[in-house]
């Protein structure tokens, strides 16, 4: 039943300096060659870091965990847009989905799953994905554990670059993030075997400073430059091969599923958006991409929340277009945003409200002049001069008969 893992294929060599050269070239160790800090991916990672440095630019930096397609996916601390772009630059086709349905079953060669759930995957989801692995040879499932405190990691990273007067606020937000993370991870069982791995939920945080494992995974990685963090632990299943470990703690394992493979990553501390700013993390991500197989794979980022993804026998029917889809398309969304801002400025310039608003005094109910004006207005509306004159003469005769 077991088969050897697929070796990444080199493919045709592009011109030197091409953004795809890191996948097409293969080094001496058989793993993909990765250029040092060049190309669009590095720009994306750098922009993500710059966009996140200022306090307040991300109201909720922990939202959208594991999301590739979201309003702030490219600059989110906990998103996966940068990893997805690495797959695309490696020559793969990438899309996101939120269900276990025929769309994945029939189209996907590789599923990348970052569940926003501290509990291990449920039995139904595991069974569906195992059947998917067995259905077609050469498929890959990459499961990345949730046990990583990305917001605290973020606040500690930006602290040295912030003005001194803002550091108390940084410390406060870091403490709040750490407290929230400790509460959320209480959902992790102390010990549970889910067949893919055994989770050990005891909180034992430490930083990774050394690497052991398969030679092709360790080669070219400087452990001193890593910023990987461990909180709980994953123990590999009996049939799994540990690809990468640190001081006996598993980081990445691989298990053959007939002619397909399951790759388990303990957490996303080197695969989420902001951690991929680190060059050593990008090299590890490149090795993970290379382990999927030759270029041209269809890679699906499975996006699920607590409880795991829903399972459906049919894909949901496409809804009627509402016209709002244009707000999710770049660069149209940015153009419309700027037009909206210009419209708001125009409105303020044409219809300003100056000074403090106040309530005018209500008209007096005892002012007889108001009655005269109202009567005159009614007579004017009649547009009958003779009638109005007759009514005035009648009034004068009634009130002053001797005059």
DSSP 331-392: THHHHHHHHHHHHHHHHHHHS---S---PPPPPPTT-HHHHHHHHHHHHHHHT-HHHHHHHH
Residue 329: per-residue pLDDT: 67
Q: Which two tokens stand for residue 278?
A: 């680190």
pLDDT in tens, 172-221: 999 998 999 999 999 999 999 999 999 999 999 999 999 999 999 999 99
Greater confidence (64 vs 135) lies with: 135
- pLDDT, one tens digit per residue, over 4-49 is 444 433 333 333 333 333 333 434 333 443 333 344 445 444 444 4
Mention every residue, 6+ apart, whose C-beta is less than 8 A from residue 183: none
235 membership: H or E segment, kind and range:
strand 233-236
Rounded mean pLDDT of the chain? Answer: 82
Q: What is the mean pLDDT of residues 103-129?
A: 96
Of the candidates 277, 247, 279, 253, the residue with the CA atom closest to the CA atom of residue 266: 253
Classify residue 112 by its DSSP letter: E
pLDDT of amino acid 356 = 72
For residue 302 the two structure tokens come to 């499975």
pLDDT of 51 reads 43
**pTM across the whole model:** 0.68
Q: In what order do the strands lie in the sheet with 93-97?
A: 93-97, 298-302, 110-113, 140-144, 260-265, 249-257, 241-246, 212-213
Q: What is the pLDDT of residues 137-150, one digit of tens each?
A: 999 999 999 999 88
Q: Residue 327: pLDDT above 70?
A: no
Q: What is the DSSP letter of 187?
A: G
Q: What integer pLDDT is reported at residue 319 of this predicted model?
A: 55
d(CA 154, CA 174): 8
- Report d(CA 203, CA 233) in Å as an integer: 9
Cβ(234)–Cβ(266) under 8 Å?
Answer: yes
Radius of gyration of the chain (CA): 33
Distance CA 127, CA 399 (A): 100
What pLDDT does residue 317 have?
74
Distance CA 81, CA 74 (A): 5
H helix and E strand count, the chain = 12, 15
Structural tokens at position 12:
């045709």
Buried b (16+ CB within 10 A) or exposed e, 23-54: bbbbeeeebbbbbeeebebbebbeebbeebee
Q: What percent of the chain has pLDDT over 70?
A: 79
**pLDDT tens string 60-75:** 565 678 889 876 777 7
Sequence-ordered list of residues with C-beta below 8 angstroms from that of 86, at least 6 positions apart, any chain: 41, 276, 282, 285, 286, 289
The answer to whether residue 82 scores a pLDDT higher than 70 is: yes
Does pLDDT of 364 surpass 90?
Answer: no
Query: Among residues 76, 66, 36, which one has the least CA distance to residue 303?
Result: 66
The three-class DSSP label of residue 312 is coil
Highest mean pLDDT, choosing among 21-30, 127-136, 350-359: 127-136
**Residue 256 contacts residue 2 (beta carbons within 8 Å):** yes
- Could you identify the residue written with the tokens 């991916």? 41
CA 151/CA 229 separation, integer angstroms: 13
Domains present along the chain, CATH in parentheses: 21-313 (3.40.50), 369-399 (no CATH)
Give the pLDDT score at 325.
Answer: 62
Q: Is the pLDDT of residue 328 over 90?
A: no
**CB of 134 within 8 A of CB of 258?**
yes
């Amino acid at each position: 039943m077991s088969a050897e893992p697929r070796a990444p294929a080199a493919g045709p060599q592009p011109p030197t300096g091409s953004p795809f050269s890191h996948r097409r070239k293969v080094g001496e160790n058989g793993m993909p060659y990765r250029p040092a800090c060049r190309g669009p991916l590095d720009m994306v990672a750098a922009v993500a870091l710059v966009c996140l440095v200022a306090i307040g630019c991300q109201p909720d930096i922990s939202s959208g965990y594991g999301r590739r397609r979201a309003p702030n996916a490219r600059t989110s601390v906990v998103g996966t847009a940068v990893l997805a772009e690495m797959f695309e630059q490696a020559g793969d086709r990438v899309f996101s989905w939120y269900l276990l349905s025929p769309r994945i079953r029939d189209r996907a060669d590789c599923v990348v799953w970052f569940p926003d759930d501290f509990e291990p995957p449920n039995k139904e989801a595991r069974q569906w994905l195992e059947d998917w692995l067995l259905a077609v040879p050469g498929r890959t499932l990459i499961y990345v554990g949730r046990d990583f405190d990305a917001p605290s990691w973020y606040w500690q990273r930006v602290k040295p670059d912030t003005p001194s007067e803002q550091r108390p606020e940084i410390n406060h937000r870091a403490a709040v993030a750490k407290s929230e993370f400790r509460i959320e991870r209480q959902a992790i069982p102390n010990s549970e075997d889910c067949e893919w791995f055994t989770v050990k939920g005891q909180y034992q945080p430490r930083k990774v400073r050394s690497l052991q494992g398969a030679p092709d995974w360790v080669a070219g990685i400087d452990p001193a430059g890593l910023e990987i963090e461990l909180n709980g632990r994953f123990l590999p299943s009996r049939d799994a091969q540990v690809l990468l470990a640190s001081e006996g703690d598993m980081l990445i394992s691989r298990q053959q599923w007939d002619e397909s493979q399951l790759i388990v990553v303990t957490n996303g501390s080197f695969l989420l958006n902001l951690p991929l700013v680190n060059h050593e993390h990008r090299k590890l991500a490149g090795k993970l991409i290379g382990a999927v197989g030759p270029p041209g794979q269809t890679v699906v980022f499975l996006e699920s929340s607590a409880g795991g993804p829903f399972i459906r026998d049919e894909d949901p029917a496409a809804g009627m277009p509402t016209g709002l889809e244009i707000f999710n398309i770049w660069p149209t969304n940015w153009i419309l945003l700027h037009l909206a801002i210009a419209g708001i400025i125009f409105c303020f310039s044409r219809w300003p409200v100056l000074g403090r608003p106040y309530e005018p005094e209500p008209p007096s109910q005892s002012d007889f002049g108001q009655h005269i004006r109202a009567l005159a207005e009614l007579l004017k509306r009649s547009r009958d001069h003779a009638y109005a004159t007759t009514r005035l003469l009648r009034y004068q005769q009634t009130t002053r008969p001797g005059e």
